[in-house]
Amino acid sequence: MRTRQILCPTDFSITASHALSYAVEMANLYGVSLRLLHVMSEPFNEHHYGLAVEAVAELEQQITSFATESLQKIQLDIQAELNHGLTVQTVIRSGDVLTEILAESEQGEIGMIVVASHGRQGIAHLLNPNIAEALANKAKTPVLVVK
C-beta separation of 117 from 133 below 8 A: yes
C-beta separation of 39 from 71 below 8 A: no
Reported as half-sphere exposure (CB side, CA atoms, 13 A), residue 122 has a value of 1
C-beta separation of 116 from 132 below 8 A: yes
Taking only the tens place, the pLDDT of each residue in 82-129 is 999 999 999 999 999 999 999 999 997 899 999 998 765 544 444 456
pLDDT for 59:
76
Q: Which of 65, 62, 86 is nearest to 75 (CA)?
A: 86
- Give pTM, 2 decimals: 0.85
C-beta separation of 33 from 85 below 8 A: no
State in words which class domain 5-146 has: alpha beta
